[in-house]
Structure 1
Amino acid sequence: MTTTARPRLDLDRARVKEARQLARKVGRPVVSMARKHTTVSVERATLRLAGLGGADPDGTPWVNRLADAVRADVGLEHGVALPVWDALLRGEAEDLATLAAKAGAGSVRFRVPEGRDSTRATSASRKAVGAGLRRIDARRKERERLIAKVGDAPATPWIYLIVATGDIHEDIPQAQAAARAGADVIAVIRSTGQSLLDFVPEGATREGFAGTYATQENFRLMRAALDETSRELGRYIRLTNYASGLCMPEIAALAGLERLDMMLNDSMYGILFRDINPVRTFVDQRFSRQVHARAGIIINTGEDNYLTTADAVEAAHTVTTSQLLNEYFAKEAGLEDWQLGLGHAFEIDPDVPDSFRLELAHAMLARDLFPKAPLKWMPPTRHMTGDVFRGYLLDGFFNLVGALTGQGILLVGMMTEAVVTPWLSDRDLALQNVRYVMNAAGNLREDFRPAPGGFIERRADHVLGETIGLLDQIAHDTDAAGHPPLLAAIADGTFGLMKRPADGGRGLDGVARKSARYYNPATELLDQGAAR
């Protein structure tokens, strides 16, 4: 992806450096905490990487059955790898699937092996999980070969369009139609509530509410369909889904195995907007991002969501703060600049004086701070009133800011936002809006320069200053339990006006502090490739 690397705001580079240093200071204790803990989803993702899939007749995934049985016998704090492969080496079953079935029936017991038995289980589990990671490597190379063969999207921003009917077999023709109409990235929205399921549904699904379930089979079907359309159109169509919620690591692993190209993966979204336990979320997001790094997947972060609950002018600095934290966590996990689809949004009330100039300042600040990242620019939603003519105009302004500031991923705004789930005709009109603005503006960003010391530059500098102040405040935040300062700030409602305590939220019972004998071949192998 080509991005505009040349800064166009006269920001104080020392202040930019200070902001990043503070983000590292805030982020390091969280990474340290994540390294010391594991979760049920991390352990289940490890079993998936080793090749275990499928579900029992009741629809409970075998990875859940096996992980639950190990946990019941020896606890989660040692990891599942040593007990599972020890059982296989002891002859309890010939393969993982049979072992999971026996575990679900209660006919096998697990132990944490010692001595030579532990060494053998370590070697066997590392070999099995390593094979899964090599399959992810192969899918990444497959993507590269296909892009080289059929061609890529001709220019940025990539046009990102959502489909999700609840029925994967209805999603496919809609996604293909969207690609033919000009979309470069297809996002399949997950069914409402899936982020709160502590299991990944199995198979192709035909029922979902306001979205379609994320499953391995649904990933496979949509990827195959978009590959067909890519060959037809002569440009590679990218596929996006959601690595978030209680099964974030597992969905990341499945995305790598099925060659998805982007995944929504924000460090704090699940905490703030789904009330998932903060410790669980940060442990899961680090593992999932390591998988994304290995798979060559671009992450999309969710800062735009803060502006749906907080004022877009007053809370602008919380977006920039979160972007800097997301950047730190992503790079620590091994992601590169080209994989950082950092989020921001066009959400200022259009009745605010100079609202367009303020939006431009915020977008230029993001572009200047992250010149090599394919920023994900989100359209207006909060102030869409149901007046489709006004909404269409607002989307045009949004597209113009995207053109002026060189955004990398542009989510298509719908004039019927807040009215109905968009029809195909609505999507066609929205794509026409994008095409008109992008074609008419051309490379206007080469000519556009805000006045030195003018309104736009002053606003960007002000937001940067507030960001530095907030990061410094967070770095010195404390609580009685001794949690990392960022967790204390989240508990105080710093982001999105949501107060989420570190010892509350969904999924806390699925977190365990690692014992001295903990072993996980997936984290070991992924850590070897993670940036320090």
Structure 2
Amino acid sequence: MTKLDLDPQVVRKARLLAERAAQPVIEMARTHTTVSVERAQLRLAGLTGADSDGLPWVNHLVDAVRDQVGLEHGVALPVFDALLREPYADLGDLARAAALGAVTFRLPAGGDAEAAAEYARCAARQGIGRVDARRAERDAMLRLTGDPRQPWIYLIVATGDIYEDIPQAQAAAREGADVVAVIRSTGQSLLDYVPEGATREGYAGTYATQENFRLMRAALDDVSRELGRYVRLTNYASGLCMPEIAALAGLERLDMMLNDCMYGIIFRDINPRRTFIDQRFSRQIHARAGIVINTGEDNYLTTADAVDAAHTVVVSQLLNERFGKEAGLADGQLGLGHAFEINPAIPESFRLELAHAQLVRELFPDAPLKYMPPTKHMTGNIFAGYLLDAFFNLAGVMTGQSIILIGMMTEGIHTPWLSDRDLALENVRYVRDACGSLAEDFVPRPDGFIVRRARQVLSESVDLLERICDDTLLKAIADGTFGVTRRPADRGKGLDGVVERADGYFNPVIEILESEDPHATAVPASAGRAE
């Protein structure tokens, strides 16, 4: 039900402008590849492991192919041609030999190319089949344990040690958390490789690795069965290895992934071209795996003013919607982000928050919106902070948000203690239970303050989208439109990993993903696990 009486023509115009603004970036992503996209397809083909220094074999193999024949045609043909020509047992055997400089790669032609392509397709099909099997397992777990009602309570663990994260995550689930996010170790987004194995050391978070994913997923499955409700697992598919981490998430049945290149561009200075190319491939994997993405618009308001820049959040959400759907994501997978970050000292601040939150809810009625708590204006006054978090929880319930990340009253003082987390969970549980279906009764007055503010933000969003269409999205990012941070397209980390595709570029994973409906691929939950 519409409560803001938004002009459908204005909404339609906004979406058409977002489509126009996104198209040049989509075309760039469709005509380029990156080292991480190439590594991701080999990971799906079964390549795992690392050398004694921790550098993955997939990095060695892709680097060897790039040095000898380039990546313009993709790694699949040179790699699987080498497997057919030489007596290597598997991809791991080939990668170890390549690391020693013992393999000569070539770009095959004619019948040799056809044979290599068919071999690569079979390996890719097996990898995609494992992703499909994990998706079917999720469906089976949801039938077995039940799905919690929304809004889902989203909670973070971040010890740095996966074996410490596990009991904390299970305890959080028992205390009411519906979604557990394992915060990634600071700086991992800037690593151009994915660490291997279970990790016990990480700064302000735990490394995202396939083994850590597997361990946490198994632990949350155990507690889901115990509680009789499915507990979702979140991690981060962003940074320089976004495609690879997306592939690993699909193989290990994660449920949500933070997946928004704009965060990496703005806050980690990762090259815009690299991240948009990586983002498209990663979202294709997420679409196939049934993973809900979370976008990072909430972060803009930590550097920009939440009132003046409200329209930049909506513009980014509209662009993310277009990028996501082009990559195959359904509405139910678009966990678009926004945040409760208006200065509480501003008169009518809560009404402004309601206007912004309700606008997002109505623009994206079928999206599992993720609402972030106040951080920018949290101070050392823990009582005021606890009250502000309660107002945030109330806004989330009143406007029908889907996912609510719990706020911590000590956000502005220190890394919260477990006791702070317990109080935060008590706060959100009370508000959610006390309000019940309050969203049904919250109807702003026609042409009142909330309605006028929502229409104003939408109008400003349309104006900004028109400027972006004229100047291009990459230039808008370079000019500091989002998050007040300038990021030129020809600078930033990872640009050297971008490669323009040549005629005849071949990637069997993309071939499969683009030729099949990602939402019509269910397989029996008894399908075999990846080794």
TM-score calculated relative to the size of structure 1: 0.97
1:400-439 paired onto structure 2 within 5 Å: 400-439=394-433
Q: Is the 8 A contact 2:56 2:196 kept in 1?
A: yes
Residue in 1 aligned with 2:529?
Answer: none
Residue in 1 aligned with 2:501?
Answer: 514
- Aligned pairs, how many? 518
Q: Is the 8 A contact 1:7 1:371 kept in 2?
A: no
Residue in 2 aligned with 1:74?
Answer: 69
Residues of 2 paired with 1:95 and 1:386: CA distance? Answer: 57
Q: Is the 8 A contact 1:85 1:125 kept in 2?
A: yes
Q: Secondary structure at the match of 1:419?
A: coil
Q: Is the 8 A contact 1:9 1:450 kept in 2?
A: yes
Q: Is the 8 A contact 1:204 1:218 kept in 2?
A: yes
Q: Is the 8 A contact 1:92 1:108 kept in 2?
A: no
Structure 1 position 528, deviation (Å): 1.7
1:117 is aligned, of 92, 106, 112, to 112
Deviations 1:336-390 (A, max 9, x none): 0111110000000000110000000000000010001110000000000121111
Letter matched to residue 165 of structure 2? D
Q: Secondary structure at the match of 1:240?
A: strand
Q: Secondary structure at the match of 1:476?
A: helix
Letter matched to residue 149 of structure 1? L
Q: Does 1:268 align with 2:262?
A: yes
Structure 1 position 267, deviation (Å): 3.5
Residue in 1 aligned with 2:304?
Answer: 310
Residue in 2 aligned with 1:449?
Answer: 443
Q: Is the 8 A contact 1:299 1:341 kept in 2?
A: yes
Letter matched to residue 337 of structure 2? G
Residues of 2 paired with 1:324 and 1:303: CA distance? Answer: 11
2:36 is aligned, of 41, 52, 58, to 41
Q: Is the 8 A contact 2:61 2:95 kept in 1?
A: yes
Q: Is the 8 A contact 1:290 1:530 kept in 2?
A: no
Q: Does 1:358 align with 2:352?
A: yes
Deviations 1:260-307 (A, max 9, x none): 000000141111111111110010000000000000000000000000
1:117-516 paired onto structure 2 within 5 Å: 117-153=112-148, 155-477=149-471, 485-516=472-503
Give me the CA root mean square deviation: 0.8
Letter matched to residue 117 of structure 2? T
Deviations 1:283-333 (A, max 9, x none): 000000000000000000000000000000000000000000000000000
Q: Is the 8 A contact 1:267 1:326 kept in 2?
A: no
Residues of 2 paired with 1:443 and 1:144: CA distance? Answer: 27
Residues of 2 paired with 1:446 and 1:271: CA distance? Answer: 38
Structure 1 position 104, deviation (Å): 0.2
Structure 1: gaps (5+ residues): 1-5, 478-484
Q: Secondary structure at the match of 2:446?
A: coil
Residue in 1 aligned with 2:524?
Answer: none
Letter matched to residue 272 of structure 1? I
Residue in 2 aligned with 1:481?
Answer: none
**Divergent runs of 4+, >3 A:** none
Structure 2: gaps (5+ residues): 519-531
Seq. identity, %: 71
Letter matched to residue 150 of structure 2? T
TM-score calculated relative to the size of structure 2: 0.97
Residues of 2 paired with 1:530 and 1:366: CA distance? Answer: 28
Residues of 2 paired with 1:463 and 1:192: CA distance? Answer: 34
Structure 1 position 529, deviation (Å): 3.5
Structure 1 position 152, deviation (Å): 1.5
Residues of 2 paired with 1:151 and 1:313: CA distance? Answer: 39
Structure 1 position 443, deviation (Å): 1.0
Letter matched to residue 387 of structure 2? L
Residue in 1 aligned with 2:522?
Answer: none
Residues of 1 paired with 2:31 and 2:384: CA distance? Answer: 51
Residues of 2 paired with 1:529 and 1:337: CA distance? Answer: 18
Q: Is the 8 A contact 1:333 1:530 kept in 2?
A: no
Q: Secondary structure at the match of 1:198?
A: coil
Q: Secondary structure at the match of 1:160?
A: strand
Residue in 2 aligned with 1:482?
Answer: none
Letter matched to residue 260 of structure 2? D
Q: Is the 8 A contact 2:239 2:261 kept in 1?
A: no
Residues of 2 paired with 1:528 and 1:187: CA distance? Answer: 32
Structure 1 position 127, deviation (Å): 0.6
Residue in 2 aligned with 1:526?
Answer: 513
Residues of 2 paired with 1:528 and 1:286: CA distance? Answer: 15
Residues of 2 paired with 1:191 and 1:166: CA distance? Answer: 7
Q: Please, which moves more after superposition, 37-46 or 92-101?
A: 92-101
Structure 1 position 92, deviation (Å): 4.3
Q: Is the 8 A contact 1:474 1:489 kept in 2?
A: yes
1:9-88 paired onto structure 2 within 5 Å: 9-88=4-83
Letter matched to residue 496 of structure 1? G
Deviations 1:64-104 (A, max 9, x none): 00000000000111110000000000024121000000000
